[in-house]
Amino acid sequence: MSAGTEHVMVVHEQDPYNAEPTPSALAEHALTPVGVFYGRNHGTIPVIAPQEWRLRIDGMVEHPLELSLADLKQRFAHREVVATLQCAGNRRAGLQAVRDIPGQHPWGAGATSTARWGGAGLADVLAAAGMRPGVTDIEFEAPDIAGEATPPQPYGSSISAAKATAGETMLIWEMNGKPLPVEHGGPVRVVVPGHIGARSVKWIERITAQDHPSDNFFQASAYRLLPADADPARTGIGDGFALTAVALNSAILRPDDHAVLPSGPTTIKGYAYAGDDRGIARVDVSVDGGRTWLQAELEEDLGPWAWRFWHATVGLPVGEVTITARAWDTTAAVQPEHPESVWNPPGYINNSWPAITVSVHDVAG
Ligand code: MTE
């Protein structure tokens, strides 16, 4: 965490460091400053000197490679992408309000942030290694040790070969124009735009081309969607399905939940985001529990891999008012209304309508 940002971060755990910004801090910048960007770690943050860092590329390739940071910078075209990272546990607190999910952090809507990422295209690096026919998955391995796995194991994950060779997937060493900070994966991390944050492996050390998904704990056992009646204590490797693309979601960032406000026009602001090849088409806001809706204005389009800020100015009636939002994506899918309908035991992908409650008093009274 950067000095001076403590007041904007809600820290769920110190080590491993897990923290998210307050909703109002997140609303301030369309490109999230480093000190406000959420942090999600399964192990202690490793400290790696950039000059000692090496990346191995192996498995089903013609030319296994070992690259230094200088090699990456010299051998491959520099590329940039503005991309949102969203943790699969984003908005879990809304599921925990329905039914307890023990042992999991109660993330609000702040496990989502957006940056301008700079580095090399993973497709370019894989092309230099020369993938052999039959490769279906690209595995990532990092050095940080995750105690959640039994026995503890280094963090890892995989994505499909198609996603790995799509132009947006990158090896990153710059965040918002500066060297990638260690807490976000420096010297080098993977960024997989449009996929859940878990696939954007930090402190990447090894990339393996193979013909099956990773058997790492975070691919084979965690970050999988189980049915609501599954008993997580009895589930095993390969149960449920692995989470990949981010679901359509939105959040209300301003005003604060439980704010006390004067009656009259108030601006409601939030984000909406949909993974992979889906864009945000429309966001609606309601102040009467979803009986009537006002269409929000979509703010600047930061490109296909980024969230969309939105705002709407509504007249608030006096009393306890619930403000609700719902987003549509470009396939005309709309968010589900109730968290009960998306509840699942590890508490992933709560994309039900976001709602806040404010207390409105009469300014004239
Ligand atoms: N990579 C490593 N090596 N170790 C981790 O614990 N956490 C993942 C992913 N990459 C993780 C990792 C998860 S679950 C998320 S949501 C994102 O990193 C969070 O990235 P951030 O901390 O930069 O926000």
The closest residue, in CA terms, to atom 9 on ligand 1 is 198
For residue 47, the CA-to-ligand 1 centroid distance in Å is 15
Tell me what pLDDT residue 138 has: 99
The closest residue, in CA terms, to atom 8 on ligand 1 is 198
**33 three-class SS:** coil
For 24-40, what is the mean pLDDT? 98
Length, in residues, of the chain: 365
**Pocket around ligand 1 at a 6 A CB cut-off:** 37-43, 85, 87, 142, 144, 155, 184-185, 197-198, 200-203
Tell me what pLDDT residue 336 has: 98
DSSP string, 171-210: EEEEETTEEPPGGGT-S-EEE-TTB-GGGS-SS--EEEEE
Backbone angles phi, psi at 164, to 5 degrees: -65, -30
The closest residue, in CA terms, to atom 22 on ligand 1 is 39
The closest residue, in CA terms, to atom 10 on ligand 1 is 201
Report whether pLDDT(364) > 90. no
Q: Give Dmax (Cα) for the chain.
A: 77
- Where do runs of H (alpha helix) occur along the chain? 23-26, 69-75, 92-96, 122-129, 161-164, 217-220
Report whether pLDDT(319) > 80. yes
Ligand 1 atom with the shortest distance to the CA of 42? 6
Tell me what pLDDT residue 249 has: 98
The closest residue, in CA terms, to atom 7 on ligand 1 is 41
For residue 36, the CA-to-ligand 1 centroid distance in Å is 15
Tell me what pLDDT residue 135 has: 98
Query: What does the mean pLDDT of the chain come to?
Result: 96
Report whether pLDDT(4) > 70. no
Top CATH class, 249-361: mainly beta
Ligand 1 atom with the shortest distance to the CA of 190? 10
pLDDT above 70 covers what percent of the chain? 98
- Whose CA is closest to 156, among 208, 232, 105, 117? 208
Find tokens 């329905």 and name the residue. 98
Question: What is d(CA 160, CA 219) in angstroms, rounded to the nearest whole number?
Answer: 12
The closest residue, in CA terms, to atom 24 on ligand 1 is 39
The residue to mutate among 5, 32, 42, having the most atoms of ligand 1 within 8 angstroms of its beta carbon, is: 42
For residue 80, the CA-to-ligand 1 centroid distance in Å is 20
pLDDT in tens, 264-279: 999 999 999 999 999 9
The closest residue, in CA terms, to atom 5 on ligand 1 is 41
DSSP label at 30? S
Question: What is d(CA 71, CA 94) in angstroms, rounded to the nearest whole number?
Answer: 45
Question: What is d(CA 172, CA 37) in angstroms, rounded to the nearest whole number?
Answer: 16
Question: What is d(CA 251, CA 241) in angstroms, rounded to the nearest whole number?
Answer: 25
* Domain locations in the chain as residue ranges: 6-242, 249-361
pLDDT in tens, 201-259: 999 999 999 999 999 999 999 999 999 999 878 888 999 999 999 999 999 999 999 99
For residue 311, the CA-to-ligand 1 centroid distance in Å is 29
For residue 198, the CA-to-ligand 1 centroid distance in Å is 5
* The domains spanning 6-242 and 249-361 adopt the same CATH topology: no
Check the CA dihedral 248-175-172-14 and report its sign: negative
As its CATH architecture, domain 6-242 has Alpha-Beta Complex (3.90)
pLDDT tier at 5 (50, 70, 90 boundaries)?
A: low
- What pTM was computed for the model? 0.97
pLDDT in tens, 156-210: 999 999 999 999 999 999 999 999 999 999 999 999 999 999 999 999 999 999 9
Find tokens 């691919």 and name the residue. 219
Q: Which two tokens stand for residue 289?
A: 């529990």
Q: What angle do CA 55, 61, 65 make, to 5 degrees?
A: 30
Report whether pLDDT(44) > 50. yes
Ligand 1 atom with the shortest distance to the CA of 113? 24
List CB contacts of 246: < 8 A, sequence separation 6 or more.
Answer: 86, 194, 195, 196, 273, 274, 275, 276
- Whose CA is closest to 276, among 305, 250, 298, 302? 305
Report whether pLDDT(283) > 80. yes
Tell me what pLDDT residue 2 has: 46
pLDDT in tens, 45-100: 999 999 999 999 999 999 999 999 999 999 999 999 999 999 999 999 999 999 99
Report whether pLDDT(6) > 80. no
For residue 203, the CA-to-ligand 1 centroid distance in Å is 9
- Whose CA is closest to 24, among 258, 335, 281? 258
pLDDT tier at 1 (50, 70, 90 boundaries)?
A: very low
